[in-house]
């Protein structure tokens, strides 16, 4: 079993929020790190696993308080490693799915700082676990497509690719879909995507605060979104979440789940 090396940066996935879904390696690195630079989205119960001596710094750019630049994050990683500290750069979910790990690795390479990537459980996996629905159930889906909300509406409309991406046999997971889904919905509908496709907005999937709301694409503009970090899932795989098929069992989460059925058939 390795230990956190001094003078090295670990780009670590914190997983979807539940500390129990950290990897063994991530938990050990958190306990041993001298410096932990974390995203805003990483939950306090995960940060509580850090060692007593560790210096924790939020370098998130989301919450809009004081802004930290990407260059400043690079400088913090590099200067900490040069002081021969063991540095964990802790990112929500998996470090190489969205976020700016690409730029951060380039900066570390340029500064000749050794680094290592520790993968984590990504949000789509924990949302599927909450919904007890396979993302790629071979009976209904042959592919999983992962987008960020930033890209979902605009680019696809431009290229006219909506029906190819939001196909009958695809499961689409949109990370950080934003608060206003009506533009995305109207773009998709205008470009020929079926209004009957099930959509599920999931927030805080792995945590006690988990919530989800389901509708069809034609009703997406009117969906009341659950609070918290959110993922939007679209595809035939989620038909049963709408209540048409097998019941969704939520034994382990009784009392915290609600299912809003705002079904708007075309």
User: Which residues are identified as catalytic?
Assistant: 39, 61, 176
Q: x/- contact string, 172-211, with a copy of itself (CB under 8 A)? A: ----------------------------------x-----
d(CA 41, CA 20) in angstroms, rounded, equals 16
Residue 101's contacts (CB-CB under 8 Å, 6 or more residues apart) are 11, 91, 95, 117
Residue 80's Cβ-count burial label (10 Å; 0-12, 13-18, 19+) is: buried
- Shortest gap between Cβ of 92 and a copy of itself (angstroms)? 13
Which residue among 35, 85, 121, 214 contacts a copy of itself (CB under 8 A)? Answer: 121
Which residue among 35, 59, 73, 120 contacts a copy of itself (CB under 8 A)? Answer: 120
Number of residues this chain uses to bind a copy of itself (CB under 8 A): 70
Q: Does 157 bind a copy of itself (CB under 8 A)?
A: no
Which residue among 9, 135, 153, 233 contacts a copy of itself (CB under 8 A)? Answer: 135
> Judged by CB, which is closer to a copy of itself: 66, or 255?
255
CB-CB contact of 164 with 192 (8 Å) = no
Torsion angle, CA of 171/176/180/186, rounded to 10 degrees? Answer: -30
CB-CB contact of 197 with 170 (8 Å) = no
Residues 53-112 that bind a copy of itself (CB under 8 A): 94-103, 105-106, 109
The two tokens of residue 49 are 């696993």
d(CA 75, CA 221) in angstroms, rounded, equals 42
| Residues near a copy of itself, by CB under 8 A | 1, 13, 15-16, 18-25, 27-28, 94-103, 105-106, 109, 114-122, 125-126, 128-129, 132-139, 142-148, 151, 155, 159, 161, 164-165, 167, 169, 206, 237, 246-247, 249, 251-252
């Amino acid at each position: 079993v390795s230990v956190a090396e001094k003078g090295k940066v670990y780009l670590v996935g914190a997983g979807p929020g539940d500390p129990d879904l950290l990897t063994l390696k991530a938990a050990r690195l958190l306990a041993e790190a001298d410096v932990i630079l974390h995203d805003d989205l990483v939950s306090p119960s995960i940060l509580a696993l850090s060692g007593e001596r560790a210096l924790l710094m939020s370098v998130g750019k989301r919450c809009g308080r004081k802004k930290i630049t990407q260059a400043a994050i690079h400088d913090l990683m590099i200067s900490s490693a040069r002081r021969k500290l063991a540095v964990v750069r802790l990112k929500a979910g998996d470090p190489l799915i969205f976020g700016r790990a690409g730029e951060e690795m380039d900066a570390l390479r340029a500064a000749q700082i050794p680094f290592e990537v520790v993968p984590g459980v990504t949000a789509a996996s924990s949302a599927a676990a909450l919904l007890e629905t396979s993302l790629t159930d071979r009976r209904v889906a042959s592919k999983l497509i992962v987008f960020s909300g930033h890209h979902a509406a605009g680019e696809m409309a431009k290229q006219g690719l909506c029906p190819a991406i939001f196909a009958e046999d695809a499961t689409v997971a949109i990370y950080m879909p934003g608060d206003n889904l009506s533009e995305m919905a109207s773009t998709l509908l205008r470009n020929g995507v079926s209004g009957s496709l099930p959509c599920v907005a999931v927030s805080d999937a792995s945590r006690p605060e988990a919530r989800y709301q389901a509708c069809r694409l034609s009703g997406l503009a009117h969906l009341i979104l659950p609070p918290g970090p959110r993922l939007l899932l679209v595809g035939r795989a989620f038909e049963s979440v709408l209540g048409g098929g097998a019941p969704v069992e939520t034994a382990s989460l009784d009392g915290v789940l609600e299912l809003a059925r705002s079904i708007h058939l075309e």
